[in-house]
Structure 1
Amino acid sequence: MELNSIKPADGSKHAKRRVGRGIGSGLGKTAGRGHKGQKSRSGGYHKVGFEGGQMPLQRRLPKRGFKSLTLRFNAEITLSDLARLGLAEVDQLVLKQAGLINDLTRTVKVIQSGAITTAVKLSGVLATAGAKAAIEAAGGSVA
């Protein structure tokens, strides 16, 4: 095989459609655009969602809901997650290494779901009132 003998596979390439090249081509005169109207003109088209001047659907429907952009920086972990870790001291770095929170997380909060029996000291991690009471009842602390 030589570089000058390489060819594309049969059928993989085909000639581009040449419009407006006479009656015999089958695509002469109007070049497949039909007669008159906005879509027959060069440069004549409309923006996405345009409905001919009628109020478009995205403006007819009411606005609804809100999604906070800071939500992706917050994370929750449960009491049962803490118990499964089995560590005496827990901070954000430990939780990242354990795979309980991702790298984007800035704020971590412990929620009261499940139970904890071992004493755990939290630092740099928030807790709900119920979770804080459960941790302190087990002999731990929330800093």
Structure 2
Amino acid sequence: MNDFKLKVPRGATKKIKRIGRGPGSGHGKTACKGNKGQNARSGGSVRPGFEGGQMPLYRRIAHRGFSNAIFKRTYSVLNIDDLEVFGIGETVNAATLVEKNLMKASEKKIKLLGRGELAKKLTVELDKVSGKAKEKIEKAGGTVKELYIPVVKVKKKAKKVR
């Protein structure tokens, strides 16, 4: 068999619709746009969601609630049982956790949770410590220092009355 005798199966290809290329093409003159009107003009289309001046659906439907997601604080979680790698009297902070390969250096804020038991006296200096974790550390003779500083809202000054 020669390659010049090969044919594409019937129906495998579709003819391209070349619009505005004369009467012989079948799609000449108005180029499948009809006669006159907004949609026949160049740039003659409306933006997505436009309903001819009627209040569009995306504005008719009630939008309920709001989101404070942009203000959300995310913490990397650490548990009491992870602190067993530290020696007696050592300080637990972000730098020492990275040294012991318990956290990555890229992790910004760390929260200590209370899963597990602790039998060593440790000094913990982390962003946040849960109530149970604090209780267990102090029971073992250690101390807890939270580095988290809550955001204080500043009250706006009252406008002057003239």
* Cα distance per residue 1:67-86 (max 9 Å; x no partner): 33243x5304243xx41353
The one-letter amino acid of 1:137's match is: K
Q: Is contact 1:77–1:100 with CA below 8 Å preserved after alignment?
A: no
Shift of 1:30: 1.9
* Cα distance per residue 1:84-115 (max 9 Å; x no partner): 35333322234456365672x43322234x22
In structure 2, the CA distance between the partners of 1:76 and 1:48, relative to structure 1 (3 Å rule), is: same
Instruction: Trace 1:60-79 onto structure 2 (pairs within 5 A).
Output: 60-71=61-72, 74-79=74-79
Q: Is contact 1:21–1:27 with CA below 8 Å preserved after alignment?
A: yes
Gaps of 5+ in 1: 1-15
Instruction: Give distance in 2, aligned partners of 1:24 and 1:65.
Output: 59
Alignment match, 1:127: 129
Instruction: Give distance in 1, aligned partners of 2:142 and 2:38.
Output: 73
Alignment match, 2:81: 83
Instruction: Give distance in 1, aligned partners of 2:126 and 2:32.
Output: 68
The count of aligned residue pairs is: 125
Alignment match, 2:23: 23
Instruction: Give distance in 1, aligned partners of 2:102 and 2:17.
Output: 55
How many percent identity over aligned positions? 33
Instruction: Give distance in 2, aligned partners of 1:61 and 1:99.
Output: 47
Instruction: Give distance in 2, aligned partners of 1:50 and 1:102.
Output: 50
RMSD between superposed Cα atoms in Å:
3.2
Say which of 95, 105, 108 aligns to 1:106: 108
* Cα distance per residue 1:31-61 (max 9 Å; x no partner): 1223444333211222222232232333223
Bigger CA radius of gyration = 2
Higher relative contact order (CA 8 A, sep 6+): 1
Q: Is contact 1:33–1:40 with CA below 8 Å preserved after alignment?
A: yes
SS across alignment from 1:24? helix
Q: Is contact 2:93–2:125 with CA below 8 Å preserved after alignment?
A: yes
